[in-house]
């Protein structure tokens, strides 16, 4: 097991991590960070110095190669789709055109769902799994929701995603394809976030805290680790994708990113700071934070040298991925980092971004989403202004690429629409909003899963979560399972036969002789080949019998539909 601690940005209090917390117990501060036992991987013993890169030799080409400094305690909880270790590409033609030979593109389009949010989803969802959380809520301008949807599907976690209605319909289709509940809110992203938080509170479901929680920042930190490792190889003339070159790691002079909530640059700078503290790099990059001029709360503030953002209530950009009008504490952190290490904030128009999108595609064969084009437009602008110098090493986060889901696969009616009148969103607790939030969740059928094998339970749960509005309870042995059935009197029981203590046969028997439970339909899912005698014991008492490893989701759902009175 790996151990790590949590620190609070507001008061500096530090405590060992045991489970996810939403605020600092000392001061209530919401901005939490992870710190590690750095010396464990990086220390001197007599004449020998053990450096962290040496410890990485055991690990392969994914962001999990940095697991020693990631907030997960047990490797068995890793939920992965092969994220991280994305290519660091040299922008040959752009470089030639601009007279800047050292522009590198960190190609995050090549993540499993096509954006750098895959890093965040991988680590956040792994942490959810480690904390045994099976249902979660997230608000998003699109890419976080897609990435979380994919990883939650894999982890067997039911996900509610709240997105502004201006998110492209192709992106919503993709979330829906992964089995998430997609709530389309007619309002700004900042309003959408508030509504998601209220929904999570009213339903007592885990709310992803984004930049304030630890998983998200730790995830983005891996971008810095990869860049330092790959750039070290590239600058020495080696293949940047080669693992474990003996080359010294190095930081770029600039890290350029299109910024919305600010998670990327905040996490990346934490990563470079850790490498600096470990002595693996000796400079810190300057940040170029680029926003669309129609939603540039950070740029406005920086130009006035203010440490707090100038909020934008009504974002006026078509690039919805970047429409965070109220960045809050994230801007304060970025302001401090930019003051300390150099760098700048710059705005570009949507038109400039779309032009840059074409240029990058035409010059270097890289097709990006509009949000990413904002970073390139910013790069061009800062080069023209001589803020970025020709000799400097620049890394641009090529943050995302969209892969539209075919219309014929996911049809037209896959969102639940929610209309927020302006009054409701500004004054929070109106009746109408609360009723609407209640109505979002109309799960009435309650299903109990009694299954001692965790993988089988997750599979069944996932099938139910993705296809129906079921309230799901689980127990992983017979005695607890029977107590659960007696307590909740579910509409349906899904039952394993072979369990320690009390087995499924016993439960079926007891239910049949209990006047409160005898009418509850039971579907048995078993790994056991049943003997004739055993079949007889179940005969007439169950509604369905499925053999593990041989049925598809539709078989189970058919059995459930037939068993449940409508
Ligand atoms: C989320 C996102 C951004 C902005 O990232 P932050 O670091 O959260 O500000 C930029 N580009 C793309 C493609 C994104 O998905
Ligand atoms: Zn605190």
Give the tens place of pLDDT for each residue, 250-281. 999 999 999 999 999 999 999 999 999 999 99
**How far is it, in rounded angstroms, from Cα 71 to Cα 69?**
7
Q: What is the pLDDT of residue 553?
A: 87
| pLDDT above 70: residue 5 | yes
Residue from 114, 174, 322 to probe ligand 1 pocket by mutation (most atoms less than 8 Å from CB)? 322
Q: Which residues surround ligand 2, an ion (CB under 5 A)?
A: 8, 10-11, 13, 24, 26-27, 29
Q: Is residue 481 part of a domain?
A: yes
CA 243 to each of CA 58, 103, 411: distance values in angstroms, whole numbers, following the listed order: 11, 21, 43
Among the residue ranges 35-49, 174-188, 419-433, the one predicted with the least confidence is: 419-433
- Look at residue 424 and tell me whether its pLDDT is greater than 50: no
Range of the domain at 491: 437-563
The position carrying tokens 């001061």 is: 27
Give yes or no for a contact between 123 and 146, defined as CB atoms under 8 angstroms apart.
no
Q: Tell me: the pLDDT tens digits for 226-246?
A: 999 999 999 999 999 999 988
How many whole angstroms separate alpha carbon 78 and alpha carbon 23?
25
Q: From ligand 2's centre to the CA of 254, what distance in Å?
A: 32
Q: Tell me, in angstroms, the distance from the centre of ligand 1 to residue 264's CA.
A: 7
- Does residue 79 register a pLDDT over 80? yes
pLDDT tens for residues 100-159? 999 999 999 999 999 999 999 999 999 999 999 999 999 999 999 999 999 999 999 999
Report how many domains make up the chain.
1
Counting ligands in written order, the one closest to the CA of 6 is 2
| 8 Cα to the center of ligand 2, angstroms | 5
pLDDT in tens, 287-322: 999 999 999 999 999 999 999 999 999 999 999 999
- For residue 501, tell me if it sits in a domain: yes
Q: Which of 106, 107, 115 to mutate to test the pocket of ligand 1 (most atoms within 8 A of CB)?
A: 115
Residue 359 in domain = no
Q: Identify which of 374, 332, 368 has the alpha carbon closest to the alpha carbon of residue 352.
A: 374
Residue 528 lies in a domain: yes
pLDDT at position 67 is: 97
Give the pLDDT confidence score for residue 246 in this predicted structure. Answer: 86
* Res 429: pLDDT: 54
Q: Higher pLDDT residue, 549 or 310?
A: 310
In a domain, 531, yes or no: yes
Ligand nearest to the CA of 397: 1
Choose the weakest-confidence range: 184-198, 312-326, 370-384, 418-432: 418-432
Tell me what the mean pLDDT of segment 62-88 comes to.
Answer: 97
Which ligand is in closest contact with the Cα of 30? Answer: 2
CA torsion through residues 182, 188, 193, 199, sign = negative
Nearest to residue 346, comparing CAs of 307, 376, 323, 308? Answer: 376
- CATH number of the structural domain spanning residue 444: 3.40.50.2300
CB 191 within 8 A of CB 425: yes
DSSP one-letter code for 42: S
- Look at residue 405 in the predicted model and tell me its pLDDT: 65
**Residues 511, 490 contacting (CB under 8 angstroms):** no
Q: What is the mean pLDDT of the chain?
A: 93
For residues 408-427, average pLDDT: 71
Q: What is the mean pLDDT of residues 51-74?
A: 95
Give the residue, out of 109, 121, 264, 329, with the most ligand 1 atoms within 8 A of its beta carbon, to mutate for a pocket test: 264
Ligand 1, atom 15, residue with closest C-alpha? 143
Measured CA to CA, the distance from residue 157 to residue 265 in angstroms comes to: 28
pLDDT of residue 422: 60
Residue 463 covered by a domain: yes
Q: Counting atoms of ligand 1 from 1, which one is nearest the CA of 260?
A: 9
Q: Indicate which residue's Cα is closest to atom 12 of ligand 1.
A: 399
| Structure tokens that stand for 39 in this block | 């010396």
Tell how far the Cα of 399 is from the centroid of ligand 1, in angstroms. Answer: 7
Work out the average pLDDT over 40-47.
81
Kindly state the average pLDDT of the residues 388-416.
85
Pick the atom of ligand 1 nearest to 267's CA: 7
Establish if 442 belongs to a structural domain: yes
Instruction: Tell me, yes or no, whether 424 lies in a domain.
Output: no
Q: If you measure from the C-alpha of residue 481 to the centroid of ligand 2, how many angstroms do you get, rounded to a whole number?
A: 41
Pocket of ligand 1 (CB under 6 A): 115, 117, 143, 258-264, 321, 369, 371-372, 399-400
Q: Give residue 403's pLDDT band: very low, low, confident or very high (50, 70, 90).
A: low
Residue closest via CA to ligand 1's atom 10 equals: 258
Instruction: Output DSSP code: residue 285.
Output: P
Per-residue pLDDT reduced to its tens digit, 514-534: 999 999 999 999 998 999 999
């Amino acid at each position: 097991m790996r151990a790590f601690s949590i620190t609070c940005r507001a008061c500096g209090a530090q405590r060992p991590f045991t489970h996810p917390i939403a605020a600092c117990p000392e001061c209530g501060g919401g901005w939490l960070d992870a710190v590690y036992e750095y010396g464990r991987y990086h220390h001197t013993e007599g004449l020998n110095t053990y450096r962290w890169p040496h410890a990485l030799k055991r690990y392969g080409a994914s962001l999990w190669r940095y697991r020693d400094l990631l907030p997960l305690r047990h490797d068995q909880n890793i939920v992965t789709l092969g994220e991280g270790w994305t290519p660091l590409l040299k922008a040959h033609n752009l470089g030639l055109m601009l007279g800047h030979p050292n522009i590198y593109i960190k190609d995050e389009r090549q993540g499993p769902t096509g954006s750098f949010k895959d890093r965040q989803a991988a680590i956040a969802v792994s942490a959810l799994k480690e904390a045994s959380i099976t249902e979660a809520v997230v608000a998003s301008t699109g890419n976080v929701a897609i990435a979380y949807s994919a990883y939650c599907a894999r982890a067997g976690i039911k996900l509610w995603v709240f997105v502004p209605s201006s998110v492209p319909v192709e992106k919503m289709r993709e979330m829906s394809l992964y089995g998430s509940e997609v709530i389309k809110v007619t309002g700004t992203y900042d309003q959408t976030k508030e509504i998601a938080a209220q929904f999570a509170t009213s339903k007592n479901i885990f709310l992803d805290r984004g930049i304030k929680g630890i998983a998200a920042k730790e995830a983005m930190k891996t971008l810095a680790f990869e860049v330092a490792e790959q750039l070290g190889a590239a600058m020495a003339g080696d293949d940047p994708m080669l693992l474990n070159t003996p080359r010294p790691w190095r930081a770029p002079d600039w890290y350029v990113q299109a910024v919305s909530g600010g998670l990327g640059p905040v996490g990346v700078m934490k990563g470079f700071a850790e490498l600096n503290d470990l002595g693996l790099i000796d400079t810190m990059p300057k940040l170029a934070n680029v926003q669309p001029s129609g939603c540039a709360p950070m740029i406005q503030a920086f130009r006035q040298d203010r440490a707090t953002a100038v909020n934008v209530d009504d974002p006026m950009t078509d690039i919805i991925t970047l429409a965070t009008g109220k960045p809050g504490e994230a801007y304060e952190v970025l302001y401090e980092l930019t003051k300390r290490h150099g760098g700048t904030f710059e705005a570009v128009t949507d038109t400039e971004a779309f032009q840059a999108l074409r240029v990058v595609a035409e010059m270097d064969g890289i097709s990006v989403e509009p949000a990413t084009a904002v970073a390139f437009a910013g790069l061009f602008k800062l080069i023209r202004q001589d803020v970025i110098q020709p000799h400097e090493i620049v890394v641009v986060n090529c943050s995302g690429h969209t892969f539209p889901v075919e219309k014929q696969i996911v049809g037209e009616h896959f969102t639940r629409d929610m209309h927020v009148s302006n009054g409701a969103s500004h004054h929070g607790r109106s009746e109408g909003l609360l009723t609407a939030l209640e109505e979002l969740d109309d799960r009435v059928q309650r299903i109990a899963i009694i299954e001692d094998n965790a993988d089988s339970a997750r599979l069944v749960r996932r099938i139910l979560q993705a296809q129906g509005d079921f309230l799901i309870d689980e127990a992983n042995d017979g005695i607890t399972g029977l107590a659960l059935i007696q307590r909740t009197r579910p509409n349906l029981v899904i039952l394993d036969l072979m369990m320690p203590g009390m087995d499924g046969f016993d439960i079926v028997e007891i239910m049949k002789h209990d006047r409160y439970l005898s009418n509850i339909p039971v579907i048995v899912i078993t790994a056991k080949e049943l003997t004739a005698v055993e079949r007889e014991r179940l005969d007439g008492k169950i509604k369905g019998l499925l053999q593990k490893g041989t049925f598809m989701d539709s078989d189970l759902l058919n059995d459930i539909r037939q068993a449940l009175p409508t």
